[in-house]
Protein backbone atom coordinates (compact mmCIF):
# COMPACT_ATOMS: atom_id res chain seq x y z
CA UNK A 1 0.00 0.00 0.00
CA UNK A 2 1.08 3.54 -0.80
CA UNK A 3 2.30 5.48 2.27
CA UNK A 4 -0.32 8.00 3.37
CA UNK A 5 2.25 10.80 3.34
CA UNK A 6 5.56 10.89 1.54
CA UNK A 7 8.09 13.69 1.26
CA UNK A 8 11.12 13.51 -1.00
CA UNK A 9 13.83 16.16 -0.75
CA UNK A 10 11.08 18.57 0.23
CA UNK A 11 12.39 22.12 0.40
CA UNK A 12 10.65 25.40 1.12
CA UNK A 13 12.33 28.78 1.05
CA UNK A 14 10.85 32.12 2.02
CA UNK A 15 13.14 34.60 0.27
CA UNK A 16 16.61 33.91 1.59
CA UNK A 17 15.32 31.90 4.55
CA UNK A 18 15.09 28.14 4.21
CA UNK A 19 12.20 26.80 6.26
CA UNK A 20 12.48 23.18 5.12
CA UNK A 21 15.72 21.83 3.80
CA UNK A 22 15.56 18.64 1.73
CA UNK A 23 13.25 16.68 4.02
CA UNK A 24 12.53 13.03 3.09
CA UNK A 25 10.33 10.65 5.06
CA UNK A 26 7.15 8.68 4.76
CA UNK A 27 4.28 7.88 7.12
CA UNK A 28 2.48 4.56 7.21
CA UNK A 29 -1.24 4.17 7.74
CA UNK A 30 -2.71 3.57 11.18
CA UNK A 31 -0.15 5.57 13.15
CA UNK A 32 -0.23 8.57 15.46
CA UNK A 33 2.89 10.58 14.77
CA UNK A 34 4.30 13.53 16.67
CA UNK A 35 6.01 16.25 14.67
CA UNK A 36 8.22 17.82 17.26
CA UNK A 37 10.53 20.78 17.07
CA UNK A 38 11.18 24.16 18.63
CA UNK A 39 9.47 27.29 17.33
CA UNK A 40 10.54 28.09 13.78
CA UNK A 41 11.77 24.58 13.02
CA UNK A 42 9.44 24.18 10.03
CA UNK A 43 6.53 22.23 11.54
CA UNK A 44 3.74 24.45 10.28
CA UNK A 45 5.43 24.88 6.90
CA UNK A 46 5.47 21.11 6.46
CA UNK A 47 1.79 20.82 7.37
CA UNK A 48 0.83 23.68 5.06
CA UNK A 49 2.72 22.04 2.21
CA UNK A 50 0.79 18.81 2.83
CA UNK A 51 -2.42 20.80 2.54
CA UNK A 52 -1.39 22.56 -0.64
CA UNK A 53 -1.54 25.93 1.12
CA UNK A 54 2.10 26.42 0.13
CA UNK A 55 3.98 25.01 -2.83
CA UNK A 56 7.44 23.45 -2.49
CA UNK A 57 10.52 25.34 -3.68
CA UNK A 58 12.04 21.98 -4.56
CA UNK A 59 11.24 18.31 -4.04
CA UNK A 60 7.71 17.06 -3.56
CA UNK A 61 5.13 15.93 -1.06
CA UNK A 62 2.51 13.30 -1.85
CA UNK A 63 -0.66 12.25 -0.05
CA UNK A 64 -1.45 8.62 -0.80
CA UNK A 65 0.63 8.99 -3.97
CA UNK A 66 -1.05 12.20 -5.12
CA UNK A 67 0.19 15.76 -5.20
CA UNK A 68 -1.86 18.06 -2.92
CA UNK A 69 -5.07 19.16 -4.67
CA UNK A 70 -8.81 18.67 -4.70
CA UNK A 71 -8.55 14.90 -4.43
CA UNK A 72 -6.23 15.02 -1.43
CA UNK A 73 -8.35 17.66 0.33
CA UNK A 74 -11.10 15.06 0.50
CA UNK A 75 -8.72 12.68 2.29
CA UNK A 76 -7.10 15.13 4.68
CA UNK A 77 -8.66 16.70 7.76
CA UNK A 78 -6.70 19.74 8.83
CA UNK A 79 -6.65 21.64 12.10
CA UNK A 80 -4.83 24.90 11.48
CA UNK A 81 -2.69 26.60 14.06
CA UNK A 82 -4.94 29.63 14.16
CA UNK A 83 -8.68 29.72 14.28
CA UNK A 84 -10.34 30.53 10.99
CA UNK A 85 -13.92 30.34 12.22
CA UNK A 86 -16.17 33.36 12.30
CA UNK A 87 -17.33 34.59 15.67
CA UNK A 88 -20.96 35.05 14.64
CA UNK A 89 -21.37 31.33 13.96
CA UNK A 90 -23.26 29.12 16.37
CA UNK A 91 -22.11 25.60 17.16
CA UNK A 92 -24.95 24.38 14.99
CA UNK A 93 -23.89 26.61 12.05
CA UNK A 94 -20.42 25.16 12.29
CA UNK A 95 -21.67 21.58 12.18
CA UNK A 96 -23.88 22.34 9.16
CA UNK A 97 -21.00 24.11 7.47
CA UNK A 98 -18.73 21.09 7.86
CA UNK A 99 -21.52 18.70 6.96
CA UNK A 100 -22.23 20.42 3.66
CA UNK A 101 -18.54 20.87 2.87
CA UNK A 102 -17.17 17.40 3.55
CA UNK A 103 -18.70 14.17 2.37
CA UNK A 104 -16.95 12.19 5.12
CA UNK A 105 -18.30 14.35 7.95
CA UNK A 106 -20.12 12.38 10.65
CA UNK A 107 -22.74 14.83 11.87
CA UNK A 108 -24.17 12.57 14.59
CA UNK A 109 -20.78 11.95 16.07
CA UNK A 110 -19.93 15.66 16.13
CA UNK A 111 -23.27 16.58 17.69
CA UNK A 112 -22.78 13.92 20.34
CA UNK A 113 -19.30 15.16 21.23
CA UNK A 114 -20.54 18.74 21.55
CA UNK A 115 -23.35 17.65 23.87
CA UNK A 116 -20.77 15.80 25.91
CA UNK A 117 -18.76 19.01 26.19
CA UNK A 118 -21.83 20.87 27.40
CA UNK A 119 -21.97 23.09 24.30
CA UNK A 120 -25.48 24.08 23.23
CA UNK A 121 -26.22 24.12 19.47
CA UNK A 122 -27.31 27.77 19.75
CA UNK A 123 -24.16 28.98 21.51
CA UNK A 124 -22.20 31.39 19.34
CA UNK A 125 -18.45 31.08 19.05
CA UNK A 126 -18.13 34.65 20.28
CA UNK A 127 -19.33 33.67 23.75
CA UNK A 128 -16.93 30.73 24.08
CA UNK A 129 -13.62 30.71 25.91
CA UNK A 130 -10.41 30.12 23.99
CA UNK A 131 -10.23 26.56 25.31
CA UNK A 132 -13.82 25.78 24.28
CA UNK A 133 -13.17 27.18 20.81
CA UNK A 134 -10.13 24.95 20.44
CA UNK A 135 -12.12 21.95 21.59
CA UNK A 136 -14.98 22.64 19.19
CA UNK A 137 -12.56 22.99 16.29
CA UNK A 138 -10.92 19.71 17.15
CA UNK A 139 -14.32 18.05 17.42
CA UNK A 140 -15.30 19.03 13.88
CA UNK A 141 -11.89 18.08 12.49
CA UNK A 142 -11.94 14.67 14.19
CA UNK A 143 -15.57 14.06 13.16
CA UNK A 144 -14.48 13.66 9.57
CA UNK A 145 -13.68 10.11 8.58
CA UNK A 146 -10.46 11.14 6.90
CA UNK A 147 -7.39 9.11 5.94
CA UNK A 148 -4.96 11.67 7.25
CA UNK A 149 -5.43 14.16 10.08
CA UNK A 150 -3.00 17.05 10.23
CA UNK A 151 -3.24 18.77 13.60
CA UNK A 152 -1.12 21.88 13.98
CA UNK A 153 -0.60 22.60 17.70
CA UNK A 154 -3.95 21.15 18.87
CA UNK A 155 -3.10 21.51 22.57
CA UNK A 156 -1.21 24.79 22.54
CA UNK A 157 -3.69 27.13 24.15
CA UNK A 158 -5.62 24.97 26.58
CA UNK A 159 -5.33 23.96 30.22
CA UNK A 160 -4.13 20.45 31.21
CA UNK A 161 -7.66 19.10 31.78
CA UNK A 162 -8.74 20.25 28.33
CA UNK A 163 -5.52 18.75 26.96
CA UNK A 164 -6.50 15.35 28.32
CA UNK A 165 -9.92 15.72 26.74
CA UNK A 166 -8.37 16.61 23.39
CA UNK A 167 -5.87 13.74 23.46
CA UNK A 168 -8.63 11.36 24.41
CA UNK A 169 -10.76 12.66 21.55
CA UNK A 170 -7.91 12.02 19.14
CA UNK A 171 -7.29 8.53 20.53
CA UNK A 172 -10.89 7.40 20.40
CA UNK A 173 -11.82 8.95 17.09
CA UNK A 174 -9.17 8.11 14.55
CA UNK A 175 -9.90 4.98 12.58
CA UNK A 176 -7.45 2.13 12.43
CA UNK A 177 -6.39 2.84 8.87
CA UNK A 178 -5.96 6.55 9.22
CA UNK A 179 -2.88 8.40 10.33
CA UNK A 180 -2.72 11.39 12.64
CA UNK A 181 0.18 13.85 12.45
CA UNK A 182 0.32 16.17 15.46
CA UNK A 183 2.72 19.06 15.59
CA UNK A 184 3.58 20.36 19.03
CA UNK A 185 6.31 21.42 21.37
CA UNK A 186 4.39 20.19 24.44
CA UNK A 187 5.83 16.71 24.35
CA UNK A 188 5.40 15.31 27.84
CA UNK A 189 1.63 15.68 27.61
CA UNK A 190 1.41 13.85 24.38
CA UNK A 191 4.10 11.21 24.17
CA UNK A 192 2.11 8.28 25.49
CA UNK A 193 -0.45 8.60 22.70
CA UNK A 194 2.18 8.62 19.95
CA UNK A 195 3.53 5.70 17.91
CA UNK A 196 6.37 7.58 16.29
CA UNK A 197 8.06 10.91 16.66
CA UNK A 198 9.86 13.07 14.13
CA UNK A 199 12.30 15.69 15.43
CA UNK A 200 12.53 18.69 13.18
CA UNK A 201 15.33 21.17 13.69
CA UNK A 202 16.06 24.16 11.47
CA UNK A 203 14.21 22.61 8.58
CA UNK A 204 15.82 19.19 8.81
CA UNK A 205 14.76 15.87 10.29
CA UNK A 206 17.16 14.86 13.02
CA UNK A 207 15.32 11.78 14.30
CA UNK A 208 12.42 9.55 13.25
CA UNK A 209 11.71 6.67 15.67
CA UNK A 210 9.02 5.01 17.74
CA UNK A 211 8.47 6.33 21.28
CA UNK A 212 9.29 2.96 22.84
CA UNK A 213 12.49 2.60 20.78
CA UNK A 214 13.62 5.98 22.06
CA UNK A 215 12.83 4.98 25.64
CA UNK A 216 14.69 1.69 25.38
CA UNK A 217 17.67 3.09 23.47
CA UNK A 218 18.21 6.25 25.48
CA UNK A 219 16.63 5.19 28.79
CA UNK A 220 14.66 8.40 28.93
CA UNK A 221 11.41 9.90 27.78
CA UNK A 222 11.02 11.63 24.42
CA UNK A 223 10.50 14.84 26.37
CA UNK A 224 13.85 14.45 28.17
CA UNK A 225 15.61 13.60 24.92
CA UNK A 226 14.04 16.60 23.22
CA UNK A 227 15.25 18.92 25.97
CA UNK A 228 18.73 17.50 25.59
CA UNK A 229 18.84 17.70 21.79
CA UNK A 230 17.36 21.17 21.60
CA UNK A 231 19.05 22.67 24.67
CA UNK A 232 19.87 26.32 24.06
CA UNK B 1 -6.47 -1.41 36.67
CA UNK B 2 -4.14 1.32 37.89
CA UNK B 3 -2.13 2.64 34.98
CA UNK B 4 0.78 4.43 36.58
CA UNK B 5 3.16 4.97 33.72
CA UNK B 6 6.62 6.35 34.32
CA UNK B 7 8.59 8.38 31.84
CA UNK B 8 11.84 6.55 31.51
CA UNK B 9 10.86 3.05 30.39
CA UNK B 10 9.13 1.74 27.28
CA UNK B 11 5.37 2.15 27.61
CA UNK B 12 4.48 -1.32 26.32
CA UNK B 13 6.65 -2.92 29.04
CA UNK B 14 4.81 -0.97 31.72
CA UNK B 15 1.44 -1.93 30.23
CA UNK B 16 2.52 -5.60 30.34
CA UNK B 17 3.46 -5.23 34.01
CA UNK B 18 0.14 -3.63 34.93
CA UNK B 19 -1.89 -6.31 33.17
CA UNK B 20 0.26 -9.11 34.62
CA UNK B 21 -0.32 -7.73 38.10
CA UNK B 22 -4.08 -7.59 37.48
CA UNK B 23 -3.95 -11.26 36.46
CA UNK B 24 -1.84 -12.48 39.39
CA UNK B 25 -3.88 -10.50 41.92
CA UNK B 26 -7.11 -11.98 40.59
CA UNK B 27 -8.54 -8.66 39.41
CA UNK B 28 -8.60 -10.29 35.97
CA UNK B 29 -9.55 -13.88 36.86
CA UNK B 30 -8.34 -16.97 35.00
CA UNK B 31 -10.34 -17.53 31.83
CA UNK B 32 -11.97 -14.08 31.88
CA UNK B 33 -12.37 -12.00 28.75
CA UNK B 34 -10.36 -8.83 28.26
CA UNK B 35 -11.86 -5.54 27.04
CA UNK B 36 -11.01 -4.63 23.45
CA UNK B 37 -7.61 -3.15 22.57
CA UNK B 38 -9.24 0.20 21.89
CA UNK B 39 -11.06 0.26 25.23
CA UNK B 40 -7.98 -0.75 27.16
CA UNK B 41 -5.90 1.85 25.31
CA UNK B 42 -8.44 4.57 26.05
CA UNK B 43 -8.57 3.52 29.71
CA UNK B 44 -4.78 3.71 29.99
CA UNK B 45 -4.59 6.84 27.84
CA UNK B 46 -2.13 5.26 25.44
CA UNK B 47 -1.85 4.60 21.75
CA UNK B 48 -3.82 1.50 20.62
CA UNK B 49 -0.79 0.13 18.76
CA UNK B 50 1.24 0.24 21.96
CA UNK B 51 -1.52 -1.61 23.84
CA UNK B 52 -1.70 -4.12 21.00
CA UNK B 53 2.02 -4.75 21.33
CA UNK B 54 1.76 -5.31 25.10
CA UNK B 55 -1.11 -7.78 24.63
CA UNK B 56 0.74 -9.60 21.84
CA UNK B 57 3.77 -10.02 24.10
CA UNK B 58 1.58 -11.35 26.91
CA UNK B 59 0.06 -13.81 24.48
CA UNK B 60 3.51 -14.99 23.55
CA UNK B 61 4.29 -15.54 27.23
CA UNK B 62 1.10 -17.60 27.53
CA UNK B 63 -0.71 -15.47 30.12
CA UNK B 64 -3.26 -14.43 27.51
CA UNK B 65 -4.68 -16.18 24.50
CA UNK B 66 -6.96 -15.04 21.74
CA UNK B 67 -9.80 -16.71 19.99
CA UNK B 68 -10.26 -15.42 16.53
CA UNK B 69 -13.81 -14.19 16.86
CA UNK B 70 -14.52 -14.19 20.58
CA UNK B 71 -11.69 -11.91 21.66
CA UNK B 72 -8.81 -12.14 24.06
CA UNK B 73 -8.83 -14.05 27.34
CA UNK B 74 -6.74 -14.61 30.43
CA UNK B 75 -5.24 -18.12 30.41
CA UNK B 76 -7.39 -20.73 32.17
CA UNK B 77 -4.28 -22.57 33.39
CA UNK B 78 -4.35 -21.67 37.08
CA UNK B 79 -0.90 -23.24 37.54
CA UNK B 80 0.64 -20.82 35.11
CA UNK B 81 -0.81 -17.84 36.94
CA UNK B 82 0.44 -19.19 40.26
CA UNK B 83 3.89 -19.65 38.77
CA UNK B 84 3.93 -16.06 37.51
CA UNK B 85 2.72 -14.83 40.89
CA UNK B 86 5.52 -16.68 42.68
CA UNK B 87 8.02 -15.27 40.23
CA UNK B 88 6.87 -11.71 40.98
CA UNK B 89 6.96 -12.38 44.72
CA UNK B 90 10.50 -13.78 44.49
CA UNK B 91 11.60 -10.68 42.65
CA UNK B 92 10.26 -8.48 45.46
CA UNK B 93 11.91 -10.64 48.10
CA UNK B 94 15.27 -10.44 46.35
CA UNK B 95 14.97 -6.65 46.23
CA UNK B 96 14.14 -6.64 49.96
CA UNK B 97 17.00 -8.97 50.88
CA UNK B 98 19.48 -6.96 48.90
CA UNK B 99 18.34 -3.74 50.62
CA UNK B 100 18.71 -5.45 54.02
CA UNK B 101 22.14 -6.69 53.06
CA UNK B 102 23.12 -3.12 52.18
CA UNK B 103 22.17 -2.20 55.74
CA UNK B 104 24.45 -4.93 57.09
CA UNK B 105 21.92 -7.65 57.93
CA UNK B 106 22.38 -11.29 57.06
CA UNK B 107 19.49 -13.12 55.41
CA UNK B 108 18.78 -14.92 58.73
CA UNK B 109 18.61 -11.65 60.63
CA UNK B 110 16.35 -10.17 57.96
CA UNK B 111 14.05 -13.16 58.31
CA UNK B 112 13.98 -12.77 62.10
CA UNK B 113 13.06 -9.08 61.74
CA UNK B 114 10.38 -9.96 59.23
CA UNK B 115 8.84 -12.42 61.72
CA UNK B 116 8.90 -9.72 64.37
CA UNK B 117 7.22 -7.20 62.06
CA UNK B 118 4.48 -9.73 61.29
CA UNK B 119 3.94 -10.43 65.02
CA UNK B 120 3.69 -6.73 65.76
CA UNK B 121 1.21 -6.18 62.98
CA UNK B 122 -1.15 -8.77 64.49
CB contact under 8 A, A220 and B7: yes
Q: How far is B110 from chain A (nearest CA, A)?
A: 33
Is B67 in the same domain as B18? Answer: yes
pLDDT at A28: 93
β-strand A148-152 against A76-79: which pairing, if any? Answer: parallel
Residue B117 lies in a domain: yes
Contact A229, A199 (CB under 8 A): yes
* CA atoms of A194 and A192, how far apart (whole Å): 6
Task: Give me the CATH number covering residue B49.
Answer: 1.10.10.10
Q: Does any CB of chain A come closer than 8 Å to the CB of residue B11?
A: yes
What is the mean pLDDT of the segment spanning B65-90? 93
Residue B4 lies in a domain: no
Sheet holding A17-27, edge to edge: A17-27, A5-14, A58-63
Compute the 3-state secondary structure of chain B and give helix, strand, coil in percent, each to the nearest 5. 60, 5, 30
> Residue B99: pLDDT band by 50, 70, 90 thresholds?
very high
Is B21 in the same domain as B56? Answer: yes
B13 interaction partners in chain A (CB closer than 8 Å): 212
Is B53 in the same domain as B17? Answer: yes
pLDDT at A59: 96
Q: Does any CB of chain A come closer than 8 Å to the CB of residue B40?
A: no
CB contact under 8 A, A220 and B8: yes
A14 C-beta neighbours (distance < 10 Å), count: 10
Residue B3 lies in a domain: no
Is B57 in the same domain as B102? Answer: no
CB contact under 8 A, A32 and B47: yes
Instruction: Dump pLDDT digits (tens) for B6-17.
Output: 888 999 999 999
Element (H, E) at B65: strand B64-67
Is B105 in the same domain as B65? Answer: no
More confident residue, B120 or A134: B120
Is B91 in the same domain as B35? Answer: no
B10 interaction partners in chain A (CB closer than 8 Å): 212, 215-216
Residue B88 lies in a domain: yes
Instruction: Dump pLDDT digits (tens) for A133-175.
Output: 888 888 899 999 999 999 998 887 777 877 888 888 888 888 7
Is B84 in the same domain as B72? Answer: no
- Show the domain range for B34: 11-76
pLDDT at A29: 93
Q: How far is A13 from chain B (nearest CA, A)?
A: 35
pLDDT at A218: 92
CB contact under 8 A, B47 and A193: yes
Residue B33 lies in a domain: yes
Is B55 in the same domain as B41? Answer: yes
CB contact under 8 A, A215 and B5: no
CB contact under 8 A, A171 and B9: no
- Top residue of B9, B10, B15, B39 to mutate, by most chain A CBs within 10 Å, is B10
Contact A186, A157 (CB under 8 A): no
Q: Does any CB of chain A come closer than 8 Å to the CB of residue B7?
A: yes
B53 interaction partners in chain A (CB closer than 8 Å): 212
CA angle A105/A110/A114 to nearest 5° reads 160
Q: How far is B8 from chain A (nearest CA, A)?
A: 4
Q: Where are the domains of chain A?
A: 5-229
B8 to chain A: closest CA residue: A220
β-strand A76-79 against A5-14: which pairing, if any? Answer: unpaired
Residue B27 lies in a domain: yes
Taking the domain A5-229, which CATH number applies? 3.40.50.300
Is B18 in the same domain as B72? Answer: yes
Residue B1 lies in a domain: no
Q: How far is B122 from chain A (nearest CA, A)?
A: 42
Is B67 in the same domain as B91? Answer: no
Which residues in chain A come in under a pLDDT of 50? none
* pLDDT above 90: percentage of residues in chain B: 84
Gyration radius from chain A CA atoms: 18
Instruction: Dump pLDDT digits (tens) for B40-77.
Output: 998 998 999 999 999 999 999 999 999 988 899 999 99
ipTM score of the complex?
0.77
CB contact under 8 A, A221 and B8: yes
- The number of distinct structural domains making up chain B is 2
Residue B42 has its nearest CB partner, among A31, A172, A216, at A172
A227 interaction partners in chain B (CB closer than 8 Å): none
Amino acid sequence: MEPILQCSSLTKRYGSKTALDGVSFSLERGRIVGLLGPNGSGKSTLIKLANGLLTPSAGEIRISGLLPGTETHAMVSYLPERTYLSDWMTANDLLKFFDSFYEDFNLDKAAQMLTHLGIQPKDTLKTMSKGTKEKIQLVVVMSREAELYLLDEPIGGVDPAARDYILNTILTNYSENSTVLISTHLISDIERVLDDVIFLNQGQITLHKTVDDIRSEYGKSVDALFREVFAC
Amino acid sequence: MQWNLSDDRPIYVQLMETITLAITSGELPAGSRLPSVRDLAAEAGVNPNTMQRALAELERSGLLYSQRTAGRFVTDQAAQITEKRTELAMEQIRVFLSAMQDMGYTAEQALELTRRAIREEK
